[in-house]
Structure 1
Amino acid sequence: MFEFDQYLGFLAFLTIATMGFWLLIFIATFVVPYWIGGSLVERLKELKEERDARKK
């Protein structure tokens, strides 16, 4: 069915595709929410500083 070099190519393809899949899952579940949460915290700090500056 497969020759040995075709088998190695198929294994390389599966390895790369699997790594890409798990990287996509990691980015979607950890990196993006961390990025959004950090930007929200920074924005809230800026709003608080602006509010404090207006009071003085």
Structure 2
Amino acid sequence: MFEFDQYLGFLAFLTILTIGFWLMIFLLTFVVPYWIGGSIMEMIKEKRAAKKAKQES
């Protein structure tokens, strides 16, 4: 069925595929929402600061 080097290649392929899958899941569930949430909070802070500066002047 498989020779030993083909078996090692198949295991390497499955390992890389699995690592890529879990990395994509991690990025989509934690990193991207954190990045978007931080960007929105920063934008809100900038708008508040601009509104405060406008009211003071």
TM-score range, shorter chain: over 0.9
Task: Give me the whole-angstrom Cα distance separating, in 2, the residues matched to 1:5 and 1:55.
Answer: 72
Q: Distance in 2 between matches of 1:13 and 1:53?
A: 57
Question: Structure 1 vs Structure 2: percent identity of aligned residues?
Answer: 68
Does residue 52 in structure 1 map to residue 56 in structure 2? no
Structure 1 match to 2:31: 31
What is the alpha-carbon distance in structure 1 between the residues aligned to residue 39 and residue 3 of structure 2? 52
- Cα deviation per residue 1:11-36 (whole Å; 9 max; x = unaligned)? 00000000000000000000100000
- Give the Cα separation in 2 of the matches to 1:2 and 1:27: 35
What is the aligned partner in structure 2 of residue 15 from structure 1? 15
CA distance in 2, matches of 1:54, 1:6: 69
Structure 2-normalised TM-score? 0.96
Q: What amino acid does structure 2 have at the position aligned with 1:6?
A: Q
In structure 2, the gaps of 5 or more residues are none
Aligned to 1:2: 2
For the aligned residues, what is the CA RMSD? 0.4
